[in-house]
Homo-oligomer: A and B are copies of this chain.
Amino acid sequence: MINLDSNYLLDFTYRIFKSIGCPDNQAKVAADCLNQADLRGVDSHGVARLSGYVRLWELKRLNATPEMKIIHETPSTAVLDGDLGLGLVTAPHAMNIAIEKAKIAGTGWVAVQNSNHYGIAGYHSMLALDHDMIGISMTNASPLVAPTFSKSRFLGTNPIAVAIPALNEPPFVIDMATTTVANGKLEVLQRKGEDAPLGWTQDKDGNPTTDAFSLRNGGSMLPLGGDREHGGHKGYCLGAMVDIFSAVLSGANYGPWVPPFVAFLEPPANHVGSGIGHFLGAIRVDAFRPATEFKEHMDNWIKTFRNAEPIAGQQRVLIPGDPERILTIERTKNGIPLHEQVIDDLQKLGKKFGLVFDCPQKQ
């Protein structure tokens, strides 16, 4: 791993998105979304994915100049046709629509169809915070997860993000896949040649396994909870809910029909909708009680939980968002750790568009 300067990576990402034709403001938000993933420690959703988006664009499975439009709406809802744009662009656009609706109706809810992979769920939910709103963000994704009792991969890692503002404390930010772990953690074990804990994956016949390569060999990721005895059916419920909100409400593809992110896999035939789907929500906190009063109680909630008595070996209890904040400070200072393979990939990507990738190393 080599630590690279995060500002350089942000600018390079922006220039690549410009190079494929993204309008300036869209290239900026898309680059920011990938950069925030790297800073927050979600390495699988950062600049390492940049060449993947470009490959989808080359195959015309992604439109760099989408004409996004609202195709249905009510005072508190809308459906956005993403025109096959980057999810990194359609999701913030949808969240801004939700925020505008919440200003008038108290809440705003926007389902997006005809979109692509949207990066980290948390980025979009956090756009609501500056407006004293709670932000909610979810998306469906390529099927890798087996419903409880099934061998079939029918769900994506289908994340849920919820961002809630506080007053003097930092915001409360959930950003979680509805699986036991992210795929990135399996890849770490694969590189180390280590086994995975039981409950992370199952093999191709649906048996419990500790083989970190099981997913590559026809197995499936397991929903949060793992097996039935440990509540895996609840993770299945949550992943299913995300799929339905993101795609059945919006008119996107759901379940096994969700198109893959990776360019080497063809999208499934017989679509049931358009592209992949997202669901974004904004809740004005003063649609319930005065914003300052709400945020003071959030401060109290956060301080109370942070001061809960820790178990042996732990210094303190964390609040959702704490781990990402700690990493952001560390990585802003020390840079983003990238594999040489990713750096090589970025250099090739630069060359393709006549850009030089010559990022300063940190440390």
A residues adjacent to B (C-beta < 8 A): 72-77, 79, 104-107, 109, 111, 146-152, 154, 162, 164, 172, 174, 176, 178-181, 197, 199-200, 202, 205-207, 224-226, 229-231, 233-238, 240-241, 243-244, 248-251, 254-256, 272-273, 283-285, 287-289, 294, 297-298, 300-301, 304-305, 308-312, 314, 316-318, 320
A314-B149 CB under 8 A given contacts A111-B288, A255-B305, A287-B76: yes
How far is B77's CA from A31's CA once the two chains are assembled, in angstroms?
35
A-B contact pairs, 19 of them (CB 8 A): A72-B289, A74-B107, A74-B287, A76-B106, A76-B287, A149-B310, A150-B310, A151-B308, A178-B234, A197-B230, A199-B230, A206-B312, A207-B312, A225-B225, A225-B230, A233-B318, A249-B283, A249-B285, A255-B305
Report chain B residues within 8 Å CB of A200: 230
Report whether A176 and B106 are in contact in the complex, using a CB–CB cutoff of 8 Å: no
Residues B317 and A148 in contact, CB atoms below 8 Å apart: yes
Residues on B with beta carbons closer than 8 Å to the beta carbon of A206: 310-312
The answer, among B74, B225, B272, B283, for a CB contact under 8 Å with A284, is B74
Contact status A294-B107, CB under 8 Å:
no
Question: What residues of chain B lie closer than 8 Å to A318, measured between beta carbons?
Answer: 148-149, 233
Min Cβ gap A98→B in Å is 11
